[in-house]
A and B are shown apart, each in its own frame.
Chain A
Amino acid sequence: DAKTTQPPSMDCAEGRAANLPCNHSTISGNEYVYWYRQIHSQGPQYIIHGLKNNETNEMASLIITEDRKSSTLILPHATLRDTAVYYCIVGNVAARQLTFGSGTQLTVLP
Chain B
Amino acid sequence: GEEVAQTPKHLVRGEGQKAKLYCAPIKGHSYVFWYQQVLKNEFKFLISFQNENVFDETGMPKERFSAKCLPNSPCSLEIQATKLEDSAVYFCASSQTMTLRGEQFFGPGTRLTVL
Q: Is A96 within 8 A of B108, CB to CB?
A: no
A41 to B33, CA, bound (A): 18
Q: Is B33 within 8 A of A97, CB to CB?
A: yes
- B104 within 8 Å of A by Cβ? yes
Q: Is A34 within 8 A of B100, CB to CB?
A: yes
- A70 within 8 Å of B by Cβ? no
Binds A, one of B11-19, B40-48, B68-76, B79-87: B40-48
A12 to B63, CA, bound (A): 45
Question: Contacts A42-B108, A43-B106; is A97 near B56 (CB within 8 Å)?
Answer: yes
Question: Contacts A44-B91, A102-B41; is A96 near B99 (CB within 8 Å)?
Answer: yes
Give the total number of A-B pairs whose CB atoms are below 8 A apart. Answer: 62
Q: Is A95 within 8 A of B91, CB to CB?
A: no
Q: Is B55 within 8 A of A96, CB to CB?
A: yes
Q: Is A43 within 8 A of B4, CB to CB?
A: yes
Q: Is A96 within 8 A of B56, CB to CB?
A: yes
The one of B41, B42, B98 in contact with A96, judged by C-beta atoms closer than 8 angstroms, is B98
Question: Contacts A43-B107, A44-B91; is A98 near B100 (CB within 8 Å)?
Answer: yes
Interface residue ranges, B against A (CB under 8 Å): 4, 33, 35, 40-43, 45, 48, 55-56, 59, 89, 91, 93, 98-101, 103-109, 111
Interface residue ranges, A against B (CB under 8 Å): 32, 34, 41-46, 49, 85, 91-100, 102-103
